[in-house]
Amino acid sequence: MTVASRGPAPATYPVPHGAEQGGVVSRVTLQTIADRVGVSRMTVSNAFSRPDQLSAEMRRTILAAAADLGYVGPDPSARALARGTTGAVGVLLTESLGTAFLDPIAAAFFGAVAEELAPTGMAVVLLPSTSSEGMIPARDIPMDGALVYGCAGDYPAVDWLVRRRLPLVFVDGEPVAEASSVLLDERHGARLGAQHLLDLGHRRIGILTMNSTEPPGWAPDPAAAGSGFVARERQIGWVETLEAGGVTPVVMEVHDNAEPFVSQGARAILDGPERPSAVLCFSDLMAAAVVHAAEELGLRVPEDLSVVGFDDSPLARRLRPALTTVHQDFAAKGKAAAAALTSSIARFRAGEAPAPEEHRILVDLVVRDSTAPPRPA
Amino acid sequence: MTVASRGPAPATYPVPHGAEQGGVVSRVTLQTIADRVGVSRMTVSNAFSRPDQLSAEMRRTILAAAADLGYVGPDPSARALARGTTGAVGVLLTESLGTAFLDPIAAAFFGAVAEELAPTGMAVVLLPSTSSEGMIPARDIPMDGALVYGCAGDYPAVDWLVRRRLPLVFVDGEPVAEASSVLLDERHGARLGAQHLLDLGHRRIGILTMNSTEPPGWAPDPAAAGSGFVARERQIGWVETLEAGGVTPVVMEVHDNAEPFVSQGARAILDGPERPSAVLCFSDLMAAAVVHAAEELGLRVPEDLSVVGFDDSPLARRLRPALTTVHQDFAAKGKAAAAALTSSIARFRAGEAPAPEEHRILVDLVVRDSTAPPRPA
DNA sequence: GATCTCTTCTGTACCGATAAAGTAACCCAG
DNA sequence: CTGGGTTACTTTATCGGTACAGAAGAGATC
């Protein structure tokens, strides 16, 4: 096995002799090394953390002793306490982490965030929104700041983060005061989709979306929670534009992103008495479900039915027919979020007052093959 | 805004009066609260962490005072140091995090891990394999253990984790001694695919795979690194079976998972002098590229060309024709990995010797529409 | 040769908690 | 009224570092 040669500690690792005493391995700390070399603990600390504070030779001696003792580096937890920073930032999602990863939008966003954060050396901690046996990650995990992705502000975990006074950035969700936010121009995107259909001549238009308000008695579904803000914004854009064009859409809301619910919604919207000639969808996933349902009913897309998605997920291009959809730039979103967060953290460390930034990510309509003029009645 | 009612601290939060002194907010710690209530610091600690150690009434008094002072809960870093556990486990990937998320296999795996870990209250830290300005996440981030996903053992970051003596679990990669592992039965999966093609009657068979060995002078590509182990295993399975069937495959290796490289490889394998009638692919992604390349050459799948994928990613079912592929159970893999890790950590905490487990995840062949008997010459 | 300025180390004072052992008060049986 | 068992806190001793203000010695400056 090849051993890494980068990093301070030489590469003779699984053999920490010298640390054992009477069979018990007492833990090696800075003090152990200091005693061995005959310097103060502080000098050893500097050897690892501030190389400019000691002579190169002394540093070499110390690192050699450390390697010999099997010392890897300053204990991260102790360092975090002493320094007041952990080197990790949290990402909170409303959806269960399991489903979040299956969502290519979210995945692409994470990717961009991680990518942007990597050069700063910060790691990303995924915060389960669930808590258990007294452990509440949003409250108990050490971190320097957090990204709140698509969560409503009244979510318990968000609340903990806010109370901790951590630097926060809200993404795709309603921000709380004093925090930065990164939002899509949802309304504009929705308007573009709606206008596109109007321009093509459609007059009977359906909308398939997430529930924007919780029906009374509806327990907030973890998988759907948080989409409320986005759903509302999009709906405003759609309805605004359609009504300006003299069209009153048929709105169908589903409460859960999962396959069966979405399919059912898709079927429902096509099965109504006055079948729409076009459907605006909350997501590409829903659009795909609509296309599928149309197929089952013997309708051809786009000849018999036009379908507009949202997000321009990878799925949109792969679908047949390729989906007309509202494109959002995931990479830009992730980058903006990561940048806003690092700057918030920097401010916070410098003791400066928070300076909430508000980033708005541009969207545009990508016209592909799933939309066409309606078939003349 | 609704405020969470769970958790110890009452919900009157953004107003921490009492903490301010002369305009400066001195930090509120257990001691601050202890002084205010007139008890020892330890009692306050117990009020938060070990409710059974004090009277209910005293606890109420303390929590009230804490809330009044704007105290959220014990400082995570300090607690981590004192307790010796952080509540977070790392996940190390060789690929850059950015690309990892775009890979539905990896995403599904994470999802399953996160899901499995959630009830334990542990958070997942994503460790960038890159390091910067003295910060090496694998060495410097506090964590209780880590999952090593698809990384070669000689990877620098892996090396740091090993030296830290963290409980580790290796997934889809060569494990190091004393660590548990979760592996697919790669060879068996490859054999199934190869046998399927033989059974259909194919004799000219191509293999499109990742490079299993680094060509001399080839700088390890972060996006491809770590796939070597898996690539080798699969190749052994394929070649073994094909040769047993009297077939010598044409092997084409690509060095990078990215679109252009894969497409190029796909074209290359179909453009050769003796075009194969079937191709075994390292992944569904590659299979998709082969299907696409075939389309461009005017070949029909499966009539003119059979294609077998690997992994059974979501893509496989969506593709047209639906892909025959080797199915792996991501959820089981994630679950097994998470379980192995938590048990390793538990062992470690209890001071017991590590007991490496070796999980082997079953795979099977899913025959869909991309394979058929070869067209008679 | 006194003073200044580096460079290189050292001492002290935290960072904010927890574990484990100790103590005081109380209750009840014998 | 003595002794054993609880309950409810308190004491003491770390956990493993880092920041910052010296201090000691070596050159450099005038």
Cβ contacts of A134 on chain B, cutoff 8 Å: 121
Residue B72's nearest nucleotide, by CA–C1', is: C16
**Does B221 have pLDDT greater than 60?**
no
Please report, for the domain that includes residue B29, its CATH number: 1.10.260.40
Chain B residue at shortest CA distance from A288: B318
Please tell me whether residues A58 and A174 are part of one structural domain.
no
Please report, for the domain that includes residue B245, its CATH number: 3.40.50.2300
SS3 A327: strand
Instruction: Say yes or no: Cβ of A255 under 7 A from any atom of strand D.
Output: no
pLDDT, mean of residues A259-269: 92
Average pLDDT over chain B reads 87
**Does B213 have pLDDT greater than 70?**
no
Residue B47 · residue B54 · CB < 8 Å: yes
A-proximal residues of B, 72-111, CB under 8 Å: 72-73, 75-81, 84, 86-88, 90, 96-102, 104, 107-108, 110-111
Per-residue confidence (pLDDT) for residue B133, from 0 to 100 = 72
pLDDT, mean of residues A266-291: 94
Per-residue confidence (pLDDT) for residue B205, from 0 to 100 = 97
pLDDT > 90: what percent of chain B?
68
Alpha helices in chain A (DSSP H): 30-37, 41-49, 56-69, 76-83, 97-102, 104-117, 137-140, 156-163, 186-200, 227-244, 259-271, 284-296, 314-318, 330-349
- The reply to whether A140 falls in a domain is yes
Distance (Å, rounded) from C-alpha B79 to C-alpha B249? 58
Distance (Å, rounded) from C-alpha B34 to C-alpha B62? 8
**Does B305 have pLDDT greater than 80?**
yes
* Segment B266-301, tens digit of pLDDT: 999 999 888 999 999 999 999 999 999 999 999 999
* Segment A295-323, tens digit of pLDDT: 999 999 999 999 999 999 988 998 889 99
Residue of B87, B154, B159 lying closest to A135 (CB–CB): B87
B-proximal residues of A, 111-140, CB under 8 Å: 111-112, 114-115, 117-128, 130-137, 139-140
Average pLDDT over chain A reads 87
pLDDT > 70: what percent of chain A?
88
| Yes or no, beta carbons of A134 and B121 under 8 Å apart | yes
Which residues 23-52 on B are within 7 A of strand D at the CB atom?
A: 39-43, 46
Per-residue confidence (pLDDT) for residue B111, from 0 to 100 = 85
Covered bases, chain D (protein CB within 7 Å): 7-12, 14-20
Please tell me whether residues B286 and B339 are part of one structural domain.
no
* Segment B108-120, tens digit of pLDDT: 888 899 889 988 9
* Segment B163-207, tens digit of pLDDT: 999 999 999 988 888 899 999 999 999 999 999 999 999 999 999
- The reply to whether A318 falls in a domain is yes
Per-residue confidence (pLDDT) for residue B24, from 0 to 100 = 55
Structural domain harbouring A52: 20-74
Nearest residue to A308 (alpha-carbon basis) of A362, A360, A237, A243:
A237
- The reply to whether B280 falls in a domain is yes
pLDDT band at B13 (very low <50, low <70, confident <90, very high): very low
Nearest residue to B165 (alpha-carbon basis) of A135, A87, A73, A332:
A73
pLDDT band at B23 (very low <50, low <70, confident <90, very high): very low
Q: How far is B170 from chain A (nearest CA, A)?
A: 15
Residue B193 · residue B208 · CB < 8 Å: no
Please tell me whether residues B246 and B296 are part of one structural domain.
yes
Q: How many domains does chain B have?
A: 3
Covered bases, chain C (protein CB within 7 Å): 7-12, 14-20
Distance (Å, rounded) from C-alpha B279 to C-alpha B196? 11
| Yes or no, beta carbons of A119 and B101 under 8 Å apart | no
Please tell me whether residues A60 and A165 are part of one structural domain.
no
* Segment B196-206, tens digit of pLDDT: 999 999 999 99
pLDDT band at A69 (very low <50, low <70, confident <90, very high): very high
Give distance CA B38 / C1' C26 (Å).
22
Q: Which of A5-14, A269-278, A322-331 is predicted least confidently?
A: A5-14
Nearest residue to A205 (alpha-carbon basis) of A155, A141, A262, A272:
A272
Domain boundary among A49, A74, A99: A74
Give residues lining strand C (CB < 7 Å): A 38-43, 46, 53-55, 58, 78, 81-82, 84; B 27, 29-31, 41-42, 45, 48-50, 73-75, 78-79, 81-83
- The reply to whether A265 falls in a domain is yes
- The reply to whether B81 falls in a domain is no
Please tell me whether residues B113 and B239 are part of one structural domain.
no
Please tell me whether residues A210 and A284 are part of one structural domain.
yes
Please tell me whether residues A169 and A247 are part of one structural domain.
no
Nearest residue to B86 (alpha-carbon basis) of B38, B151, B42, B141:
B141
- The reply to whether B230 falls in a domain is yes
Give distance CA A337 / C1' D7 (Å).
52
Give distance CA B32 / C1' D8 (Å).
21
Judged by a CB distance cut-off of 8 A, whether residue A351 touches chain B is no
Structure tokens at A180: 């930065």
- The reply to whether A2 falls in a domain is no
Please tell me whether residues B334 and B354 are part of one structural domain.
yes
| Yes or no, beta carbons of B110 and A97 under 8 Å apart | yes
Please tell me whether residues B144 and B204 are part of one structural domain.
no
* Segment A125-163, tens digit of pLDDT: 999 877 777 899 999 999 999 999 987 667 889 999 999
A-proximal residues of B, 194-233, CB under 8 Å: none
SS3 A83: helix
Please tell me whether residues A312 and A202 are part of one structural domain.
yes
- The reply to whether B11 falls in a domain is no
**Does B103 have pLDDT greater than 90?**
no
Cβ contacts of B14 on chain A, cutoff 8 Å: 162-163
pLDDT band at B218 (very low <50, low <70, confident <90, very high): very low
pLDDT band at B329 (very low <50, low <70, confident <90, very high): very high
Nearest residue to A164 (alpha-carbon basis) of A179, A174, A182, A149:
A179
Please tell me whether residues A321 and A191 are part of one structural domain.
yes
Residue of B7, B142, B156 lying closest to A80 (CB–CB): B142
Please tell me whether residues B157 and B199 are part of one structural domain.
no
